[in-house]
Amino acid sequence: METLQTPSRVLNLCRGTAETSVFKTHSRVGFPGTWQNSRNVRSFRVGRRCYGRNKNGRCFVCRSGSNAQDKKQEEGLVSSTERDVSGSAVGFQLVPHSGNDSLLETLETISTGEAELSEETKTREKKSIKATCGLVFVTSEASPYLKTGGLGDVCGSLPIALAARGYRVMVVMPRYLNGSPSDKKFSNAVDTEKRSKIYCFGGVQEVGFFHEYRAGVDWVFVDHVSFRRPGTPYGDIYGAFGDNQFRFTLLCYAACEAPLVLPLGGFTYGENCLFIANDWHAGLVPVLLAAKYRPCGVYKDARSIIVIHNIAHQGVEPASTYHNFGLPPGWYKALEWIFPNWARTHALDPGEAVNVLKAAIVTADRIVTVSEGYSWEITTPEGGYGLHELLSGRKWVLTGITNGIDTNEWNPASDIHIHSHYSVHDLSGKLQCKMALQKELGLPIRPDCPLIGFIGRLDYQKGVDIILSAIPDLMQDDVQFVMLGSGEKQYEDWMRHSESIYIDKFRGWVGFNVPISHKITAGCDILVMPSRFEPCGLNQLYAMKYGTVPVVHCTGGLRDTVKNFNPYANKGSGEGTGWTFSPLTTDSLLATLRIATGTYKDYKSSWEGLMKRGMERDSSWDNAATQYEEVFEWAFIDPPYSG
């Protein structure tokens, strides 16, 4: 494991001054507060809100109306979230509790992590984390504001599920404006008029913050000129943007500032936060907490979790760009990355680089991946993309939690994008959806012909090359095949070309189109996913919810979520929700697809069983959110990472 040098103190911060941020902010940011000392508690009053430390130096936050209430706080009252009429959290109220349930006592237990925690203590901890700790998701995308893949789905729905469970939740992402109609998605967000100055890349950058309160979550959009340009969040027709390191560095700094400077619903989130950084774009957050904020006495009790949705993307740049991050020189080791010999460009290439995801793995308090299977795969040389040793060394803080799905958006009984609604109790609408899809795509309308679908990025991960090599054989069978995706040009061209060869059987929709993705999910009989690796995979979850039977490569989250069909189990009534195949070869894909289409044609009742078991499977966020809550608790048991 990496050892990191203790960083030097970079900025002197006067504790208890009007501003807790380590970066200068514009007007109306500071707290017109005063420090107060009393018997066991040192507190900082801002209007009716009180930030404080107890005798052991632990942080707390509460809202009080009078000195009498402050006294009650000392006497052992806990705080709970106070909400305005719209349900937005506007602060914390003191509420009475029984003798043992002291907030301060609980926080002490968390911080010292001393004795074995009893079940009762754990329950109390859970309550206190909810009441005192804001969750701050940091992400490069979140649906419906902007989505290019599964990261957007997860960051659009998990925060809502956690807010519904009582947390105060903020999501911080860029305010992308690309001059297309999608800009309208940000139109409900209002300018908070807060500005933060960020020192990085050898200069100073000013970012703004827009805010929308929706579904119980504070959605915060970071505004900067570099987020306003044509293309996707990551690139345009010419490829990836050359300044992505800069853009996502800004996002991370802004996300660290947001809880300190934005009075959302009237009150800032304050220092006692749990940051949930998603993928490399947000990976600098745990590093900034440890290298810049904690040495200045800010975020001392905050914790961070890095969630790995896809380890293949790590934010690697030449070592010479280290100074761009604005980090103290002593922290280079955290980001240092040496390419293996085989990956170097020439014999004299020392392979020296900086790697943001690697730094997040080193400095975050906990690591989460999006399925249990993938959490193991990334500790192997085959699945770890060079980070397996590091991850193996931190196995005890690594947890796999399978994603849930947004059952409001993905529900065949209410989906706004599909032709007919249906449910597990009445499947008739599914056939209507199939025929409507065939009609819309100009395929022969044949309810009896197995319709196979694929949705996803056209790239190496998704195994599109395996589909490509299977199609000539598969097209000899009585099947139809539809593909929706965008990505590598060679595959887009191949899809267009295949349409002209297999006129009555193949359709390829090049592009990113959410309504069409819903129509394909509802209209197909089979969804194929020959992914080389798949951290979780959402399309198979959507497919099962829509009675579309998945045929997937047996890897990562696909293996965890698709149960192989066994017609003989349960006294002949069958079990399983689809097929998993291995190895990942054209032959094995073809053989499995033929078993699936054969079952579809010749064993109608088995097929119905497959559909219904998939539809009844619980994919809601509830299960995953419970597991995330557990990880939140664990994150507070150990002291935060400090280098």
Ligand X SMILES: Nc1ncnc2c1ncn2[C@@H]1O[C@H](COP(=O)(O)OP(=O)(O)O[C@H]2O[C@H](CO)[C@@H](O)[C@H](O)[C@H]2O)[C@@H](O)[C@H]1O
The residue within the footprint of ligand X, chosen from 178, 513, 606, 620 (CB under 6 A), is 513
Total binding residues toward ligand X, as defined by CB under 6 A: 26
Q: Peptide bond before 174: cis, by omega within 30 degrees of 0?
A: no
Task: Tell me how far CA of residue 311 lies from CA of 368, 393, 401, 450, in angstroms.
Answer: 12, 16, 15, 35
| Three-state SS annotation for 139-184 | CCCECCCECCCHHHHHHHHHHHHHHHCCCCEEEEEECCECCCHHHH
Q: How far apart are CA 263 and CA 492, in angstroms?
A: 47
Note whether 403 binds ligand X by CB under 6 A: yes
- Min dist CB 358 to ligand X, Å, is 19
> For ligand X, which stretch binds (CB under 6 A), given 80-88, 509-517, 575-583, 632-640?
509-517
The residue within the footprint of ligand X, chosen from 470, 536, 596, 610 (CB under 6 A), is 536
- Min dist CB 309 to ligand X, Å, is 4
Q: Which pair of structure tokens corresponds to residue 238?
A: 């010419």
Note whether 375 binds ligand X by CB under 6 A: no
> For ligand X, which stretch binds (CB under 6 A), given 382-390, 413-421, 506-514, 569-577?
506-514
Residue among 279 and 336 whose Cβ is closer to ligand X: 279
- Min dist CB 275 to ligand X, Å, is 18
> Three-state SS for 205?
strand
Strands 549-553 and 526-529: parallel
The residue within the footprint of ligand X, chosen from 77, 107, 154, 311 (CB under 6 A), is 154
Cα-Cα-Cα-Cα torsion 245, 246, 252, 254, nearest 10 degrees, comes to -170
The residue within the footprint of ligand X, chosen from 151, 158, 252, 316 (CB under 6 A), is 151
- Min dist CB 266 to ligand X, Å, is 33
Yes or no: say if 539 and 558 are a contact pair by the CB < 8 Å rule: no
Note whether 508 binds ligand X by CB under 6 A: no
The residue within the footprint of ligand X, chosen from 156, 326, 328, 535 (CB under 6 A), is 535
Strands 352-355 and 316-318: antiparallel
Residue among 325 and 542 whose Cβ is closer to ligand X: 542
| Three-state SS annotation for 221-281 | EEECHHHECCCCCCEECCEECCCHHHHHHHHHHHHHHHHHHCCECCECCCCCEEEEEECHH
Q: How far apart are CA 34 and CA 18, in angstroms?
A: 8
The residue within the footprint of ligand X, chosen from 134, 412, 456, 550 (CB under 6 A), is 456
Residue among 363 and 486 whose Cβ is closer to ligand X: 486
Pattern 304-343, ligand X, x by CB under 6 A: -----xx---------------------------------
- Min dist CB 154 to ligand X, Å, is 5
Task: Tell me how far CA of residue 351 lies from CA of 246, 318, 342, 347, 425, in angstroms.
Answer: 21, 9, 10, 10, 59
- Min dist CB 145 to ligand X, Å, is 14
Torsions phi, psi for 581 (to 5 deg)? -120, 155
Among 439, 440, 435, residue whose Cα is nearest residue 422 = 435
- Min dist CB 496 to ligand X, Å, is 14
Pattern 171-210, ligand X, x by CB under 6 A: ----------------------------------------
Element (H, E) at 51: strand 49-54
The residue within the footprint of ligand X, chosen from 332, 339, 460, 512 (CB under 6 A), is 512
Task: Tell me how far CA of residue 194 lies from CA of 30, 69, 139, 258, 362, in angstroms.
Answer: 11, 31, 20, 9, 32
- Min dist CB 491 to ligand X, Å, is 12
Residue among 22 and 370 whose Cβ is closer to ligand X: 370
- Min dist CB 270 to ligand X, Å, is 29
Residue among 58 and 457 whose Cβ is closer to ligand X: 457
Note whether 562 binds ligand X by CB under 6 A: no
Number of C-beta neighbours around residue 25 at 10 A = 17
- Min dist CB 138 to ligand X, Å, is 15
Task: Tell me how far CA of residue 321 lies from CA of 250, 537, 578, in angstroms.
Answer: 15, 33, 47
Element (H, E) at 559: helix 556-561
**Which residues face 549 on adjacent strands?**
526
Number of C-beta neighbours around residue 271 at 10 A = 19
Residue among 265 and 557 whose Cβ is closer to ligand X: 557
- Min dist CB 369 to ligand X, Å, is 9
- Min dist CB 517 to ligand X, Å, is 4
Pattern 460-489, ligand X, x by CB under 6 A: ------------------------xxx---
Binding site for ligand X (CB under 6 A): 149-151, 153-154, 309-310, 370, 403, 455-457, 484-486, 512-514, 517, 534-539, 557
